[in-house]
Amino acid sequence: MTRNATLRDHVAAAILDAAAVVLAQRGESVSMSEVAAAAGVGRTTLYRYFPSRETLLDALARRAFAELIGELADSGVDSVPVPEGVARVSRIAFGQAAKYQALMCVPGKPEISDEAVRQIMSPLTSLFSRGAADGTWRTDLSTGTLLAIYTALLEGALSQGLHTKLGAEPAAAAITSVFIRGTEVRRPADSGAATAPSAAPAPTRN
């Protein structure tokens, strides 16, 4: 890559970083002038890289999808117990939502491509299939149904802005807990562990 191309990529990345921040802080009505100011570039420079608001939002959406795909690929969900894998996916989803939350309500936002959907769903499908194989999940619902329930739960929480109300980490923990508790296999408790210690005898009075 030439020096000019490297510089161009650096400037474009800086503009997108700034756009993500100001959009998250002030909503999708942020002007191009505000984005330019936040990125520390002039309007002319901004429009040279992103000729319109639509091209800026499109680039930001594609970057958000690429980051999500990269984080899922690097998350190690295939090497941890299934409940921890679900927790990691939840944290990634809410972390991305916190960073790119304004994109969720932008009218006419770019749709995710079929290939991006495949790359996002592939690690989740493998994780849920492993949960079925190792006995993590209840058996009265199919793996596909359980995955659909989880993604619907995530999408609903994200659309309701749970990450803005609770914070990304608490929101991820809440969704993970609700899902795992409702779908895991109920195993009989160990009789010794399940028995509560007997209360100490009340002191006698003379």
pLDDT at 61: 87
Residue with tokens 């002030």: 26
Question: What is d(CA 97, CA 153) in angstroms, rounded to the nearest whole number?
Answer: 14
Whether the CB-CB separation of 96 and 66 falls below 8 Å is answered with no
Q: What is the mean pLDDT of the chain?
A: 84
β-bridge mates for residue 137, sequence order: 184
Q: Kindly report the CATH number assigned to the domain that includes residue 29.
A: 1.10.10
| Residue numbers of the domain that contains 8 | 1-51
What the block records as the tokens of 120 is 């996002």
pLDDT tens for each residue of 96-139: 887 887 776 666 556 778 898 899 999 999 999 999 999 999 99
- 166 within a domain of the structure (yes/no): yes
* 46 and 73 belong to one structural domain: no
Compute the chain's Rg from CA coordinates: 23
Task: Please name the helix (run of DSSP H) or strand (run of DSSP E) that holds residue 198, with its range, or none.
Answer: none
Q: When comparing pLDDT for 61 and 129, which is higher? A: 129
Q: 198 in a domain, yes or no? A: no
Split into its structural domains, the chain has a count of 2
Asked if pLDDT for residue 3 goes beyond 70, the answer is no
Query: Mean per-residue pLDDT for 8-22?
Result: 89
Whether the predicted pLDDT of 59 surpasses 80:
yes
CATH number of the domain where residue 123 is located: 1.10.357.10
The four Cα atoms 88, 123, 114, 92 give a dihedral, to 10 degrees, of 10
pLDDT at 50 over 80: yes
72 and 123 in a single domain? The answer is: yes
Query: Whole-model pTM?
Result: 0.79
Read off the pLDDT band of 204 (50, 70, 90).
very low
